[in-house]
Amino acid sequence: MKIKVSKVEKLGIILSVIGLALIFQPFENSLFTYGFYVLSLGAVIFSLSGYLPIRTERGETTIKDLVKWVIIIAVVLLFVVVVSIELVPYMIVR
């Protein structure tokens, strides 16, 4: 099964717009936090979708490539979170 890379980019743009709408809405304060997360996710998806390999002339990639892409991103983010948590005790300024 093949997916167009442009659809992944559009997903990132749509999530970013939804996140901005949640951030700028004046009704509920708790939606601001969710808007930040949705906007961040959309920005990451849009930015990193340029690194998806294009396998066909029509700009498509395989599900296997997409799954590898998601796993690599998750592992890198997990690594950054774990390193940050481990370094926090050494960042205390006295």
Write out the residue range of the structural domain in which residue 66 sits.
2-91
User: Number of folded domains in the chain?
Assistant: 1
This prediction's pTM? 0.72
Chain centre distance of CA 34:
14
Residues of the chain with pLDDT under 70: 93-94
pLDDT of residue 11: 92
pLDDT of residue 94: 65
CA distance 14 to 12: 6
